[in-house]
Structure 1
Amino acid sequence: MSRSDITWHVPEEDLRAYTQGELTPPRLWSADTHLASCARCREALAAVSDPVALDAGWERLDAELDAPRPGLVESLLVRFGVADHTARLLAATPVLRRSWLLAVTAVLLMTVAATYSVEAGATPKLFLALAPLLPLAGVALSYGPTLDPTYEMAVVSPTHGFRLLLIRTVAVLTVGLGLNGLATLALPTYGLRALAWLLPALALTGTGLALTPRLGPVLAPSLVGGAWVALLLAAQVTAAEHATLAPFTAAGQGIAGAVAALAVALLYLVRDRFDSAPAHVPFSGGGAV
């Protein structure tokens, strides 16, 4: 239909009701269809519209269309009282994705299966050696421009970089230690010996984080993980046959606990360096909140 064929136009009172959201069907449907093809009525609509209200409406529409849809994890966190921005940072943690969780679960299952293959009464060395490295690796992979989809947002955020780091670390440790704990339940015959990974895990993770401002988020955990492997190899060489490795004895557990406490203290002392350190450090937010 050409413009010359249009003999009916939307009445002015309907246009006013249309702009105020008060026009009801079926007149609303007729107005919508007519406005799409009638320039004259669109001009009349603009004349009776409140420019401020119209602009505000478009801004609300744009904001609604551009707003990211929260996922299941983010929605659950918000439901449990976590702030929106904190829930977004937690939900975007790369190592909390399904692929990482499935990989960690598979590694733990294979380690538990390998533990069952050793002779009865022996210490689950492979499980105890591997379990502390998983939280360290998870924390190391939870930030940085390569894997973190919210890295740019974190860099320009006014939130203290140390706080952002702790948010991610708590999330990773909660999930990582939880998975390790479930794997430990699959080794009931070892009793408390199967929990000997916990203090070393905290010590390795804390040390890796404390060294990050100076060494960077890749080198620091890599050196800490390498030192742990070297320590286990040295303990294996010097230990008697079927003996418990030194890191998993009572004395070794005490040392691991002390190292974890010292690492936490050092991490607190260097907390401000997460805002002023070079670009290779995970976060450099604008300031504390």
Structure 2
Amino acid sequence: MMRKIIQIDEEKCDGCGLCVAACHEGAIELIDGKAKLVSDEYCDGLGDCLPQCPQGAITMIERKAAPFDEVSVRKRQKALAEKRNEELTTCSCPGSMGKVIEKDGDDQCSCGHDEEKEESLLGCGCSGSMARVLEKNEGGECSCEQNGGKQVQAQSCCRSELRQWPVQLSLVNPGASYLKNAHLLIAADCTAYAYGSFHQEFIRDRITLIGCPKLDDSNYYTEKLTEIFKKNTPKSITVVRMEVPCCGGIIRAVKEAMLRAETIVLYNEVVISTEGHIINNL
């Protein structure tokens, strides 16, 4: 049948992935660094992705194409979500062990002597899949004997404020206890590298979830965040992104997830420049 459908100019496409996040039907994928329409039947022809492309690589045309198939779209969305969940529960990496980091009230750092509380959340037998509580002190002085028995002074500005592990959104279990009624920080990967005081201004007193909207599947982010919001009722949500256009996908994923989960909480959106400055704080 003749109908309206998108067309992607791969010459113009820079692989930012914003169109992938904008297409809730899952019709677009990033393949070899370029956006591609994976199937005509997944495209509804409404063009939600068009205004999101910073390069003008997507246009609406009329051509002979298979009709839009809602049933196929639902099956595809479910399959993508299941694929991601399988990757999460495979637990092949010991580095995905879940941890909650507790802070003490004193000023002494008990480096190397902290006890870890472990809570198994994924029953797959892999130590890397277990949620853990890491107890950390608030202080600037380290009581451990290091560097030939000399006491090490740790500057407070350099302290880690991280309260849980893992932090990668794709590895976090939506049932982790540390997510319950938490103040959530959802940040693009690059923000912590660009902004010098990231730990003190953003990670402190929050549960941190990170990801890259350009390199990862933004549709999966939306599904995962929706599940997290529904199960855990967060107290607040702070989203931090870079100023580059391709980073906007993380904002859209969070907002869409909030809509799907009917989550109404205090929301804050921060944009960091590539020079390391806050240029927008809403």
Whether TM-score is above 0.5 comes out as no
User: Which has a greater percent of helix?
Assistant: 1
The TM-score normalised by the length of structure 1 is 0.24
More strand by share: 2
Larger Rg: 1
